Amino acid sequence: MPSHELDNFIICKKCHTLHKKVPLAHDTKAVCRYCDTVIYRNHRDLFNTTLALAITALILLIVSFSFTILTINIKGVNQSLNFASMFIVMFEHHYYFVGIMLGFLVMLFPLIILSSTILLLILMKYRKYPYLVKRLLILIAKLIPWSMIDIFFISILVAMVKLFDFTQIDVDVGFISFIAVLLLDFMIIKRISFNELWINYEEIYRINA
């Protein structure tokens, strides 16, 4: 069989059954007949909606970093917790390593991942700069395991639970936008997987090549 004929077929990544590709309507997906795994989707709307989600997530992430996360009342004194105050406390107590790790894992990497995702989706949408898109895909894949924003949030929750008995804690804008960022992240990952992005990358830029 010549290779262009093979392009009309797709293999289910779970059970390895061969399927013939058929054109899909807007916002629909093709599911494996045998194991119900999603094989491919119609991506025209997917790019736009995922792009909107990623832009919203980036804005909310910047909000989380800029505003107060928690206000802790210790013996009548209000102490507000935000990123700037966390860095100041850590460096004052000479926790330089922890401070730098926090900066990279919780601030820098999530910011780079989200802005790269936005750039990537825009470039793929307009079918521009395949080399840059490939670099971005590799960069994001390498950084995702190092983004620890969810772990950071869980550790805040654990600290809150431990402090509840002793102090009064009020959640602030930063806290709420953190929850929104995590929910959006989850939605983005659910909508678009890396596997699919690579398949899309190959499909989009082979046409232009």
Question: Considering beta carbons, is residue 6 or 35 the nearer one to Zn ion?
Answer: 35
Minimum gap (Å) between residue 202 Cβ and Zn ion: 21
Question: Considering beta carbons, is residue 12 or 149 the nearer one to Zn ion?
Answer: 12
| Binding segment toward Zn ion, per CB under 5 A, in 24-32, 77-85, 118-126, 191-199 | 24-32
| Binding segment toward Zn ion, per CB under 5 A, in 5-13, 93-101, 146-154, 200-208 | 5-13
Minimum gap (Å) between residue 10 Cβ and Zn ion: 11
Handedness of CA 68, 73, 74, 77 (dihedral sign): positive
Could you write out the three-class secondary structure of the chain? CCHHHHCCEEECCCCCCEEECCCCCCCCEEECCCCCCEEEECCHHHHHHHHHHHHHHHHHHHHHHHCCCEEEEECCEEEEECHHHHHHHHHHCCCHHHHHHHHHHHHHHHHHHHHHHHHHHHHHHCCCCHHHHHHHHHHHHHHHHHCCHHHHHHHHHHHHHHHCCCCEEEECHHHHHHHHHHHHHHHHHHHCCHHHHHHHHHHHHHHHC
Question: Considering beta carbons, is residue 14 or 128 the nearer one to Zn ion?
Answer: 14
* By the rule CB under 5 A, 11 interacts with Zn ion: no
Contact 73, 169 (CB under 8 A): yes
**Beta-bridge partner residues of 79:** 72
| Binding segment toward Zn ion, per CB under 5 A, in 29-37, 61-69, 116-124, 147-155 | 29-37
Question: Considering beta carbons, is residue 38 or 187 the nearer one to Zn ion?
Answer: 38
Among 6, 11, 35, 74, binds Zn ion (CB under 5 A): 35
* By the rule CB under 5 A, 12 interacts with Zn ion: yes
| Binding segment toward Zn ion, per CB under 5 A, in 34-42, 80-88, 114-122, 191-199 | 34-42
Minimum gap (Å) between residue 20 Cβ and Zn ion: 14
Minimum gap (Å) between residue 36 Cβ and Zn ion: 7
Which of positions 67-86 make contact with Zn ion (CB under 5 A)? none
* By the rule CB under 5 A, 15 interacts with Zn ion: yes
| CA–CA separation, 159 and 90 (whole Å) | 16
The site for Zn ion (CB under 5 A) is made up of 12, 14-15, 17, 32, 34-35, 37
